[in-house]
Structure 1
Amino acid sequence: MISLLEEAGINSSGVFLNADPGFDSEELRKACDIKEIELNVKPNKRNGKTASEEYRYFDDQLYKRRTKIEHANAWLDAFKALSVRYETKVFTWMGLHWLALITLFCRKLKV
């Protein structure tokens, strides 16, 4: 992820990373500290350390909001044309995503 940001010329300092307990590791925390990335990862209970010992900050409300993004990504994965990625032009790729999002929105409308 960092190399993609660097290739695009985007500074990773101050980027916010919201992750689930599966990504909770000392290695990730150190990597994020080096790149000055704000890490909001739910403590993994299997690590054996309590929140007061190691974890500097965890925003529970922000963590709960991440499920909306996860659901949106899962809904988009249901569209096979988007998952294959044969599109070579950004305009076409974006158009397919817009069509998928409009379709999902129309399904949510209560008519």
Structure 2
Amino acid sequence: MKWKSFLIGAAIGALGGYAATQIVSQKTKVSPEKVLEQVKKQFKQNGSISGSWIHMVAEPFEKQHIQYQVYKGGISKNQDGVNEQFEFVADALTGTLLEVNKITEDTQAS
């Protein structure tokens, strides 16, 4: 009877450990709203923001041969009376900015 109880306990422990590992290893995305909030906070350090947007669906992105799931968005700000626009790419898992590009007049005309 002792072996039977031991084996049942070991099996339950193994299943519980496996389930816990699966739950912990699941990568959860940061909400796009939270990412936009973080990006705006970083941009506000250098002036006021006049507008912002973020694409609500994460999409694949590759940078330096590394694959990411990312949110893309944009920020408009007024710097010394001049309206500047930026596009950004942020990691959907961490919210970390991977890329920021200033949109120039030439880029907007394309």
| TM-score of the two chains, using structure 2 as the length reference | 0.21
Larger Rg: 2
**TM-score, scaled to structure 1:** 0.20
**Larger % of helix: which?**
1
| Higher relative contact order, structure no. (Cα contacts within 8 Å, ≥ 6 residues apart) | 2
